[in-house]
Structure 1
Amino acid sequence: MIHVLRARTAWLLAMAAWLPVTFSLAQPADQGRVIEIEPTVLAERDRIEPENRMVADRLEHLLPGLMAETGIDMWLVINREYAEDPVYFTLVPQPSFAARRTTMLVFDLQDDGSVDRLSVNRYPLGEPYQVGWSGGDLEAQWQALGTLIAERDPERIGINVSSTWPEADGLTHGLHQKLMAALPEALHDRVVSAEDLVVRWMETRSEMEQAVYPHVVSIARRAIEEAFSSRTITPGVTTTDDVAWAIRDWFESRGLRIWFMPYVNIQRPGQDCEADTPFCGVSGVIQPGDVLHTDVGICYLKLCTDTQEMGYVLKMGESEVPEALVEALAEGNRWQDLLTDEFVTGRTGNEILMAAQASMANEPWGFNIYTHPIGFVGHAPGPTIGMWDLPAEVANTGDWPLYPNTAYAIEGNVAVPLAEWNGQHVQIKLEQSAIFDGERVIYLAGRQTEWHVVR
């Protein structure tokens, strides 16, 4: 069921003016698949104000606590035009098309727990940043940065360098050299990696973002509802590529950015699909009796989605999806439940994976788990929970712990044998975006519990 946003605070009431339809996070876990009303998509110009409001809110209410938590007294984000730091656009107001020339952001944690937000740029950014320096040439800019840092005398200076997290490795070698040359030598041993801060900043969803995110996910789900229907598919004529491009066109006609090309595939009797096959499915012309699968991802209001759902094309004389397939989808939902039951604050991604695999060991189906964080980017930093093409435990990123107020693409598959297909497996491949609130995994816009049907 689609719910009107119920604002709990004044700022949520204000948000309702530009976000008229969304989902309540109090929704049942088994909310059905149908998105009957097409969710509102704002024009590009109208997205700027809410995006900037959410950025300012994050800087004011999230960043101070995260800097204290990770032991960073001053955080530097330094980048150049055409070589922007991956975290840069999550920190600056829109419309920002690039880090003009060399852009320097300085975040200085104060004794009272607040953070001074300073720009050291030729072109000031404006709110929510104060001007630490502006104008002049590049040499003067670096000198100003070194002087500012020395005057504030931080104990731990965080820079974005990391051998594990690409999102936290945005400081280029050349800029690193320039920074160290600009810093007084006495401060060199205070420079540390800010990777923990970057990951926590990227993975944590604010209260405002949690209000918006269900709406964003519902847009992606609505596109699949449209694609896996007779409005898009003519059996015997339409190809999987036709459907993939129809999904892409649907998004682009609404000014929505995809972060990967939509993917559509077919399963049918006679194909090679075993319990341990990583992925089952082929491309081609869609026929009656085919099982369909798609994978789509968009980003809107700075939040990304990653969604996989299943469809069925009715045969002549059929009015409903065969019961065996209905039961197979239910097993896919059971797989989701067994996985998310293992989400416990403080557990690492690898610990969640091992616990989930143990809970599924005696199920009558094969399975594969490859769940990942999601947020400002589709494959976001945070605890990796399995990968389809790597050993069971994932080094480094799989060792990151689970924190509250983080979002995940609950992704994987089950392979269920069908007597109607002479024992051949059908692979139920599901992926739904969800939030972990510290105690529960809540699907942001419901999850698929019924088949999409092409009639």
Structure 2
Amino acid sequence: MKTTLLILISLILTFSCQNPNFEEKQGEKIDNPFTGKNPWPEIRKKRINHLLPEAMERAEVDAWMVICRENNNDPMALHIGGENAGGTSFYVFSKSNDKFQSTVFSSFGEVTALRELELHDSIISVSREQDVFQLATEYVKSLKPEKIAINVSTANSTADGLSHSQYKKLAQSFGDDFERKLVSSEELVYEWLSIKLPEEVEIMRKASEITAQWEVEAYEMIIPGKTTDAEVAKFLNDKIKTYGYEDGWNPEQNPNVNSGSDRGHSHATDKVIMPGDVIQTDFGIKVYGIWVTDIQRFAYVLKEGEEKAPEEIQRYWDVAKRGHRLVFENMKPGVSGFELDKAQREWMKENGSLPVPWSTGHPVGYVAHDVGPSLGGGKEGITPSKASLKPLKEGMVFAYDGFYAWEIEGGEKTISVEEMVVVTEDGAEYLTEPQEELILIKK
């Protein structure tokens, strides 16, 4: 009995040493706003019934066909209820005379589950002996549409889910006359996914607050001369696991903790954090398996005898922050991402920053780099992309930076003050309190 007790105590002590969150788990209940029922099914239904018809109107398409299948599914499957497809299924959305309808031609094995979702107006069971391509195309022909959107795109990977073999079979089923009516869904997907419902914004607001808070907590555990970038990253990785969230992007590069020269989108290394370092942490979480965040926080490691950051480091921070706020002040519906990016680059040039290769910002929501306007295109010598010339609209959510880059030993260092905002009726709103001052880390 005594031996068994000693073994048990030993196991508990071992577990507590290996798991930095052990005390947190054993203490007070963790404050986690993302427990309970996942709101995605109801939000998805609202998005289909309210936002999709409007998007089809703006994209000027009469019908949209999405093919879902097992193992190599269309990127839009989750948004239309086809994420669990086994056999090939067609999801058809149509709009005629102000009437919007969604019809699914489903492999018979998925019909029951689809009907219980109560997401679509009609679910048609397709047996093994039937040709789902023929059934779906005949139905669409009966609608007499002028433009039929399908998921092929050279510019938007989210709208490019149709495989070559699927397209060939679809075109054959339609015949020459109707094949000419097939158009890319690129504009439709853009119009639909770029706008987030107010309840989605609120979810991302809470997630943003958690993301920023954890980054600050990660800086508090740093011991200069001992702690590595990778250990700071592990602290944040452990937070994600403890709370049951997912990574905002590829786990190998989330978070990117970088106390040396710029590494771009990369993994944290075993570099030891030293006095005089400026530390960048780029971090995102995914909640409910749907919505992601993308926020950066910056810190400076004080040298012996320093009580504040050196004058030049403070100036770099102030210029980067002002560039960020300049974008925020000009962000509103109707303004293009190109205009915002150009304004910040002019500010950087005026204040002696090296040019940076990255755009000022990007949409964020279902993925870290989501569908929507690019806050870019203002760099000298490049042609603005189509996405950077698109106007911002109310309900769009962005992660964007204020920049300042300078030379350091081994390369360059960039301060990129990244926050998340939502575009409002007449401006923009932060999803969490923005970082106002460099976080100072004492030895």
Equivalent residue number for residue 205 of structure 2? 214
1:87 aligns with 2:76: yes
Q: Which amino acid aligns with 2:416?
A: K
Equivalent residue number for residue 88 of structure 2? 102
Give distance in 1, aligned partners of 2:123 and 2:176: 22
Equivalent residue number for residue 42 of structure 1? 34
Equivalent residue number for residue 66 of structure 1? 55
- 1:107 is paired with a residue whose SS is strand
Give distance in 2, aligned partners of 1:187 and 1:264: 52
The runs of 5 or more residues in structure 1 that have no matched partner are 1-36
1:362 aligns with 2:350: yes
Give distance in 2, aligned partners of 1:245 and 1:174: 43
1:383 aligns with 2:373: yes
Give distance in 2, aligned partners of 1:59 and 1:323: 53
Give distance in 1, aligned partners of 2:207 and 2:155: 29
Give distance in 1, aligned partners of 2:145 and 2:271: 61
Equivalent residue number for residue 326 of structure 2? 338
Give distance in 1, aligned partners of 2:192 and 2:30: 31
Equivalent residue number for residue 433 of structure 1? 420
Change in Cα spacing, 1:324 to 1:387, as seen in structure 2 (3 Å) is same
1:307 aligns with 2:295: yes
Give distance in 2, aligned partners of 1:284 and 1:141: 56
Deviates further, 240-249 or 359-368: 359-368
Change in Cα spacing, 1:415 to 1:163, as seen in structure 2 (3 Å) is closer
CA offset digits 1:405-443 (Å, max 9, x no partner)? 2111112521379xxx99x99642221111112431221
Q: Which amino acid aligns with 2:323?
A: W
Q: Assess if the C-alpha contact under 8 Å between 1:145 and 1:182 holds in 2.
A: no
Equivalent residue number for residue 227 of structure 1? 218
The runs of 5 or more residues in structure 2 that have no matched partner are 1-28
Q: Which amino acid aligns with 1:335?
A: G
Equivalent residue number for residue 232 of structure 2? 243
Give distance in 2, aligned partners of 1:160 and 1:81: 17
TM-score normalised to structure 1 length:
0.78
How far has the Cα of 1:107 moved from its partner? 0.8
Q: Assess if the C-alpha contact under 8 Å between 1:38 and 1:219 holds in 2.
A: no
Q: Assess if the C-alpha contact under 8 Å between 2:299 and 2:438 holds in 1.
A: yes
Q: Assess if the C-alpha contact under 8 Å between 1:90 and 1:376 holds in 2.
A: no
Q: Which amino acid aligns with 2:225?
A: G
1:265 aligns with 2:258: yes
Q: Which has the larger radius of gyration?
A: 2
* Aligned with 1:169 (options 132, 154, 160): 160
1:120 aligns with 2:105: yes
Give distance in 2, aligned partners of 1:189 and 1:396: 24
Equivalent residue number for residue 12 of structure 1? none
CA offset digits 1:272-308 (Å, max 9, x no partner)? x9xxx989x9861123343211111222232221111
Q: Assess if the C-alpha contact under 8 Å between 2:58 and 2:191 holds in 1.
A: no
How far has the Cα of 1:65 moved from its partner? 0.9
How far has the Cα of 1:331 moved from its partner? 2.5
Change in Cα spacing, 1:303 to 1:383, as seen in structure 2 (3 Å) is same
1:284 aligns with 2:271: yes
1:179 aligns with 2:166: no
Correspondences of 1:187-202 after superposition (within 5 Å): 187-202=178-193
Q: Which amino acid aligns with 1:237?
A: K
Equivalent residue number for residue 150 of structure 1? 141
Identity of matched residues, %: 27
How many residue pairs get matched? 398
Equivalent residue number for residue 56 of structure 1? 45
Give distance in 1, aligned partners of 2:91 and 2:441: 52
Change in Cα spacing, 1:170 to 1:244, as seen in structure 2 (3 Å) is same
- Using CA pairs under 8 Å that are at least 6 residues apart, name the structure with larger relative contact order, 1 or 2: 1
How far has the Cα of 1:155 moved from its partner? 2.1
How far has the Cα of 1:78 moved from its partner? 0.9
How far has the Cα of 1:182 moved from its partner? 2.3
Equivalent residue number for residue 406 of structure 1? 396
Q: Assess if the C-alpha contact under 8 Å between 1:41 and 1:254 holds in 2.
A: no
How far has the Cα of 1:194 moved from its partner? 1.5
* Aligned with 1:255 (options 244, 247, 252): 244
Give distance in 2, aligned partners of 1:238 and 1:408: 32
1:134 aligns with 2:125: yes
Give distance in 1, aligned partners of 2:96 and 2:145: 10
- Which structure has more helix as a fraction of its residues? 2
Equivalent residue number for residue 19 of structure 2? none
Give distance in 1, aligned partners of 2:440 and 2:87: 52
CA RMSD of aligned residues (A): 3.2
Change in Cα spacing, 1:391 to 1:216, as seen in structure 2 (3 Å) is farther
CA offset digits 1:333-381 (Å, max 9, x no partner)? 2010222334353343333323433354423544535211112111122
CA offset digits 1:29-79 (Å, max 9, x no partner)? xxxxxxxx9862434xx353x111111111121111111111111111113
Q: Assess if the C-alpha contact under 8 Å between 2:45 and 2:119 holds in 1.
A: yes
Equivalent residue number for residue 13 of structure 1? none
